[in-house]
Chains A and B, each alone.
Chain A
Amino acid sequence: MDVPLVLRGRAVAALILLAASAAVAAPGPDFTRDILPILSAHCFECHGPDDADRKAKLRLDVPEGALGKGESGDLAIVPGKSAESEVMRRIASADADEVMPPPKTKRKLTARQIELLKSWIDGGAKWGQHWAFVQPKRAAFPEGSAGHSIDRFLAAKMEQPPAPEASKPALLRRVSVDLIGLPPTRDELQAFLADEAPDAYERLVERLLNDPRHGERWARHWMDVWRYSDWYGRRLVPDVWNSAPQIWRWRDWIVRSLNADKGYDRMVKEMLAADEVAPGDLEARVATGYLVRNWYALNPNQWMRDNVEHTAKAFLGLTMNCAHCHDHKYDPLTREDYFNFRAFFEPIYVRQDRVPGDADPGKYQDYNYSQVRKIVRAGAVTVFDKDVRALTWLYHGGDERNRQTERAPARPAPPGFLEARVQVEPVKLPTSVSFPGGQSFVRQDEVASAKAALAAAEAKIKPAGVALTSANEKRLATAGCRPEHVGEQERVLEDADLALRVAEKQAEAARVRQEAIAARIAADDAKFLGAPGELPKLAAAAGQAEQQLAVAQARVAALEAEQVLRANDEKVSAAADPKQRETATAARKKAEIDRDLKKQALTKAETAAQKPATDYTPLSPVYPRESSGRRRALAEWIVGRENPLAARVAVNHIWLRHFHTPLVATVYDFGRSGAQPTHPELFDWLAVELMESGWSMKHLHRLIVTSGAYRRVSASAEAAPKDPANRTYWRMNPARMEAEAVRDGVLHLAGQLDGRMGGQELETADMATSRRRTLYFASYPEIGGKGELTGLFDAPDPNDCYRRSESILPQQALALTNSQLVHEASGAIAQRLWAALDEPQRQPPAFITAAFEQLLSRAPAAAELAECTAFLTRQADAAKAAAKNTDGAARARDSLVRVLLNHHEFVTVK
């Protein structure tokens, strides 16, 4: 192998393109299309933008360098004169020390590539720009084309007659899995077949796009790209290092936004900067979960690195991370650009906010090496600018220890080569954001919770009083009884007395709590909300109320500890044998220690209260009143009309998930070492269409699934088609259902899928028994972060899944034949299908047909029917042989359903 593979692929692509263009008019080679890929793949690593490693001081990625002299003094490229160009001489050289690229790189230009270069130089060596760095423009439709816009572009490149339109059942199954992630049931199939209106398909598409399950389906796709991950770090401890336990609110925001057809541009803005573009709206602010997901407690630099790398990859298709240690080897991204990009994120930190009806999550826990980070489920987690003056220092070698303090810190800016100007304007934040404790719902929740606590405590007083009276009477009635009995009643009386005291003190604490809340609210009013009143006085009153509350609560705690101790005393005396006694004594000792600690705490609280407080705790943490506006500027630039990258990257992701191949193979790298678009005109047309539709993703979905290309059959009837790889979309691509569609599909067809939407993530361990949709189960990059079954079907790696892999494993076969999920579902499906048949139809052929329709959305062929009929008999015998008292025929039907769930066509979208 003398040519590295990546180059071979590109060389082939170049040849194809060349052949295509030659067929049309044969102009000279096009720089962007033909030359830049060759230079990028063979030359830029040493003669590219990175000046640190540049060889012979020669730079070939810009005309100023390429048309100038290298170290040798020779002109690299002389326009119009390939014979005088040093580049051509060196490429052709037979001398191992001279030839370029050097033999040790194992890169060698093909004869065709050399010819292209020569012809380009002789034609004047006209420079151009990399396709992705130029704004997309709506290309004119190819001449003479007609019909659906997508098909008009595709037709121009077709090398063979397109395949016919797929059957209605195949289309129904394809578009259902595609748009809502679930295959159709038999009933849906029959309804669709019965609909003979000419626009039946279009109405089906509308129905599916308006189905709330559409948002769930496509949310999962975008969660791959946006690296959704539930919290992780040390799950087994548990210790939260990465992401956050409330991150699921961001997932629910994605589902909601897609169902509402929120513009892609708006979604990007909210994910990067909702706290600046919609500060008062907590439901929008949870979108910044996109950034919280990258949070890494142990090293804030890592948080920043992930924010830079993945914002660039997900929204811009730029491998900005390659410019971290050195200038980019292929793209005009400098190391300075890298840190400038980081500066957009520099001020951020994470906060937790209360949501109505949920408990107070408290302040976000800072990292401390010796403290485990607790799992906080309450509230919402979002990003905010904590320090608008935070500096972004450049550092060497990708290691933050090597800070370059001799250089000025970086300033927020997009990559210089895109020549974009962004305006960073500070954002004033509403009081509800800088002081969330002032919101009326927070106050109401606090007041209501205190009120409820008081009612609960007071309710206990009366029964406790009754119990005390009764115990007292019983004690008095023991006069003259045996001493043990007297002692017993004495103890009961003391317990009752203590219980009453606890209830009374709890009520008292609840009352004090109410007072404290009122006092804190009054102080908050004066301090944050501009209400009249003397703040020092109010603050002192609130602080003192808190002191009283601390005393009251400590008193309750001490009494409760006393109760526990008495219960332990009882256990010790009731111990039946020495072993029990030993255990009980140890427990009693612990209880005693705890009681003493609680008593000490009470004393401490009382002592503290003797020194009246002058300040108090506001109802919530306090945050800055201004945000830097950096991320808003970044987001507005990303989805701005001038940026050539964002719409293309989004279109490519959407196209990939409909057609199962992307228009640009390197989905997160649109740079010069990435792939070329297979259909540049169509691609740009779609990018403009997306932007001009108000970035409506539903519009793009509708456009794509109603195209002729999407509706073709996927199987090739031809043994040797001209375009077997289907680069030209002459047929549809078949695909294996994603992990989620496999599991959800099985449950859906069994009528068992639980349609509840949203909420805290579920544990993967429960995936076999729970019936919720797969997207609601935990997903994180640790062992256990994928379902046992879904993990086998290429479930996403939350750290890196810009594109899913699609494997065929024997373990998948084991999962679909042996799993509890499939066994339960196949039984349920068989029973439903059998019950739905009218009595006279309850025969094998009708059942087999129903099963095929339910599971594969089609009727069986004659040969299949024959095989399955024979199977039902054979399997019923086998079932009876295995268990005498079983209904062999029923068991055989379960078996048949299971077989169809294992049919290639079940897991495949044809």
Chain B
Amino acid sequence: MNPFASRPLPRRQFVADLGLGFTGLSLGAMLFGDGVARAASETPPDGQPHFPPRAKSVIWIFLSGGYSHVETFDPKPALTKYAGLTFDKTPLENPLNSPKHHARFRSVTAQEVNVRDVYPTIYPMQVGFGKHGQCGVEITDWWPHLGECVDDIAFVRNMWTTDNDHFAENQIHTGRHRLEEQQPTLGSWVHYGLGTMNENLPKFVVLGGPTNSTTRYSIDSLYLGPQHGGVPLALDPLNPLPFGRRSAQQSAAEQRNEYELIAKLNGLSAVEYPADAQLRARIHSYELAFRMQSAVPEALDFKPETEEVRKQYGMDADATRPAGQKLLAARRLIERGVRFVQVYPSGYGTWDSHQKLKEKHTQLCASVDKPVAGLLRDMKQRGLLKDTLVVFCTEFGRTPGLERRSGGTDGRDHHPHGFTVWFAGAGIRPGIVHGETDELGYHALGDGHYVTDMHATVLHLLGLDGRRLEVPGRKRIDMDYGKVIREILA
């Protein structure tokens, strides 16, 4: 029942033929498509990759609050060995004396206002660990399901970032520290650079986030324009996006009639003004809107999924259901051609274990372990992992030392100097560990990887070169582009 089936204008007059993506027919792009450039406008990317891509789409899983790298994917027996000693009392090099300490980190708060404390007393590992898979990668015992998937995963253990507070959640997505000029988020660059695979769905979807009013930068397109921003979808198929549901005072037939008349009236104007690109974009946007109203709910409707699949994602248990639903929705969106799905399995700051780390991490790991493993297995079985890159990350690690603030006895503070993320799927060398932190898990060794190296890697696998996505008048610096982590590429 598509009211546009009989619209009065020949199809070729519509912008769909210009190859423009969904949720964004920017005016600049529209006009350029007609060979008409508005002042200061630039040639937008043509939607084609710069070189043959290894991946078509991305699932970016972000855990907010900072999981403890040493109690997840970078176990450090030395912490248990030297537990209770201060850094300067171990035979190891004191990480506080490393020049990396000053070079890599910058406090948001001014020195005269506040400096976060440094906690030098070593806190033992709160969980055991063991080798997993053919590759024998060591991860902790809090990941029984993921432990069975390590042969599909490439771990990067020498990540670092520069903010020691939660704005780092934005930073891992934008590449910039709180005190610097903000940049568009990774998903927006992907949206900007690549065309659509299903114009009835947004190209860049956000599930379960942004987690907080302060984390908008993690989905924001800023100067690229709102059409390239992440579109948060609610998991409710009845009402997944703002204004995406027909008014209760109106029947489907009535609404269809309205859309039909809108198309007819705008079509009459289009006959009169054939050169009006904005008008044609508007007409097309109504076609898309009408289809989106059904396409988005369909993608988020789990009814067609079998019981077995739901169980695989842990949707049969309270603890794992929230993460499972989001990840299953992510798979369904990827299946339907969404480019970039940014998933927040846990809420804002949930992993932030200043106190009661053991108790919190036990619960939190259990809440995502099975769903994430389920996603990898399901994607692999369906052949989706061949074309989809899965990234799993957090904003920073946690201190090897015991946090003593407010009399704390059982937690770790924020730690930007070293943390672990992992990649799986399209173009990734499976079953490997790349990079390391020192024996105490303090510093990422070698050059390590700043967060934009993750961006460079993602863009590279999608066939994009960040430096070729330049926007005139918007200066980016070297650090924004990052370097591809070649060691983890297949």
Complex contact B253–A799 (CB within 8 A): no
Complex CA–CA separation, A724 to B213 (angstroms):
43
Distance to closest chain A CB from B407 (angstroms): 14
| Contact of A369 (CB < 8 Å), options: B114, B244, B266, B278 | B114
- A867 contact set on B, CB distance < 8 A: 261, 264-265, 268
Complex CA–CA separation, A9 to B473 (angstroms):
12
Given contacts A5-B43, A300-B110, A784-B213, contact A725 B36 (CB under 8 A): yes
Complex contact A871–B285 (CB within 8 A): no
- B212 contact set on A, CB distance < 8 A: 236, 783
Given contacts A5-B472, A818-B245, contact A904 B39 (CB under 8 A): no
Complex contact A716–B249 (CB within 8 A): no
Complex CA–CA separation, A821 to B281 (angstroms):
24
| Contact of A298 (CB < 8 Å), options: B110, B180, B216 | B110
Complex contact B227–A809 (CB within 8 A): yes
Distance to closest chain A CB from B98 (angstroms): 17
Let me know if A879 is at the binding interface, CB within 8 A: yes
| Contact of A719 (CB < 8 Å), options: B247, B275, B470 | B275
Complex CA–CA separation, A792 to B212 (angstroms):
19
Which among B85-93, B144-152, B286-294, B441-449 touches the partner chain?
Answer: B286-294
Distance to closest chain B CB from A881 (angstroms): 7
Complex contact A882–B254 (CB within 8 A): yes
- A233 contact set on B, CB distance < 8 A: 214
Let me know if A112 is at the binding interface, CB within 8 A: no
| Contact of B39 (CB < 8 Å), options: A661, A718, A719 | A661
Complex contact B37–A298 (CB within 8 A): no
- B288 contact set on A, CB distance < 8 A: 810, 813
Let me know if B222 is at the binding interface, CB within 8 A: yes
Let me know if B113 is at the binding interface, CB within 8 A: yes
Complex contact B23–A809 (CB within 8 A): yes
| Contact of A783 (CB < 8 Å), options: B108, B216, B265 | B216
Which chain B residue has the least Cβ–Cβ distance from A886? B249
Given contacts A299-B110, A369-B109, A789-B243, contact A814 B269 (CB under 8 A): no
Let me know if A666 is at the binding interface, CB within 8 A: yes
- B278 contact set on A, CB distance < 8 A: 734, 736, 808, 904, 908
Complex CA–CA separation, A792 to B202 (angstroms):
14
Which among A335-343, A386-394, A525-533, A894-902 touches the partner chain?
Answer: A894-902
Complex contact B289–A813 (CB within 8 A): yes
Complex CA–CA separation, A782 to B113 (angstroms):
23
Let me know if B111 is at the binding interface, CB within 8 A: yes
Let me know if B435 is at the binding interface, CB within 8 A: no
- A176 contact set on B, CB distance < 8 A: none
Complex contact A813–B286 (CB within 8 A): yes
Let me know if A675 is at the binding interface, CB within 8 A: yes
Which chain B residue has the least Cβ–Cβ distance from A663? B39
Q: A796-815: contact bitstring with B at CB < 8 Å (1 yes, 0 no)?
A: 01011000011111111111
Which chain B residue has the least Cβ–Cβ distance from A234? B214
Let me know if A864 is at the binding interface, CB within 8 A: yes
Which among B24-32, B61-69, B153-161, B419-427 touches the partner chain?
Answer: B24-32
Complex CA–CA separation, A57 to B111 (angstroms):
38
Complex contact B227–A807 (CB within 8 A): yes
| Contact of A5 (CB < 8 Å), options: B243, B249, B292, B470 | B470
Let me know if A707 is at the binding interface, CB within 8 A: no
Complex contact A905–B269 (CB within 8 A): yes
Which chain A residue has the least Cβ–Cβ distance from B273? A715
Distance to closest chain A CB from B337 (angstroms): 16
Give the number of chain B interface residues (Cβ < 8 Å). 83
Complex CA–CA separation, A881 to B250 (angstroms):
11
Complex contact A9–B42 (CB within 8 A): yes
Which chain B residue has the least Cβ–Cβ distance from A299? B110
| Contact of A863 (CB < 8 Å), options: B35, B214, B268 | B268
Complex contact A665–B30 (CB within 8 A): no
- B486 contact set on A, CB distance < 8 A: none
Distance to closest chain B CB from A725 (angstroms): 6
Complex CA–CA separation, A675 to B42 (angstroms):
13
Given contacts A298-B110, A811-B289, A813-B289, contact A903 B255 (CB under 8 A): no
197-233 of chain A: CB within 8 A of chain B? 233
Complex CA–CA separation, A807 to B42 (angstroms):
15
Complex CA–CA separation, A715 to B22 (angstroms):
27
Which chain A residue has the least Cβ–Cβ distance from B109? A298
Let me know if A266 is at the binding interface, CB within 8 A: no
Let me know if B125 is at the binding interface, CB within 8 A: no
- B358 contact set on A, CB distance < 8 A: none
Which chain B residue has the least Cβ–Cβ distance from A856? B265
Complex contact B36–A817 (CB within 8 A): no
Complex contact B292–A814 (CB within 8 A): yes
238-285 of chain B: CB within 8 A of chain A? 241-247, 249-251, 253-255, 257-259, 261-262, 264-266, 268-269, 273-276, 278-279, 281-283, 285
- A800 contact set on B, CB distance < 8 A: 222-223
Complex CA–CA separation, A236 to B349 (angstroms):
13
Distance to closest chain A CB from B242 (angstroms): 5
Let me know if A823 is at the binding interface, CB within 8 A: yes
Complex contact B106–A895 (CB within 8 A): no
Complex contact B472–A400 (CB within 8 A): no
Complex CA–CA separation, A675 to B222 (angstroms):
22
Complex contact A661–B38 (CB within 8 A): yes
- A907 contact set on B, CB distance < 8 A: 282
- A899 contact set on B, CB distance < 8 A: 258, 261-262, 265
Let me know if A669 is at the binding interface, CB within 8 A: yes
| Contact of B244 (CB < 8 Å), options: A5, A814, A891 | A814
Centre residue among A791, A792, A805, A819 by max chain B CB count within 10 A: A805
Q: A867-892: contact bitstring with B at CB < 8 Å (1 yes, 0 no)?
A: 11001001100110111000000010
- B241 contact set on A, CB distance < 8 A: 811, 814
Let me know if B319 is at the binding interface, CB within 8 A: no
State the B residues within 8 Å of A (CB).
22-27, 30, 35-40, 42-43, 106, 108-114, 179-182, 210, 212-216, 222-223, 225-227, 231, 241-247, 249-251, 253-255, 257-259, 261-262, 264-266, 268-269, 273-276, 278-279, 281-283, 285-286, 288-290, 292-293, 468, 470, 472-473, 475
The list of the 7 closest CB pairs from A to B, nearest first, reads: A665-B40, A813-B289, A882-B251, A6-B472, A810-B288, A810-B289, A369-B114
7 A-B residue contacts at CB 8 Å? A398-B180, A665-B39, A718-B275, A810-B286, A817-B255, A818-B246, A867-B264
Further pairs besides A783-B216, A823-B247: 16, Cβ < 8 Å: A4-B470, A4-B472, A725-B38, A725-B39, A783-B212, A806-B27, A808-B27, A809-B23, A809-B226, A810-B23, A811-B243, A817-B262, A823-B250, A875-B258, A900-B265, A904-B282
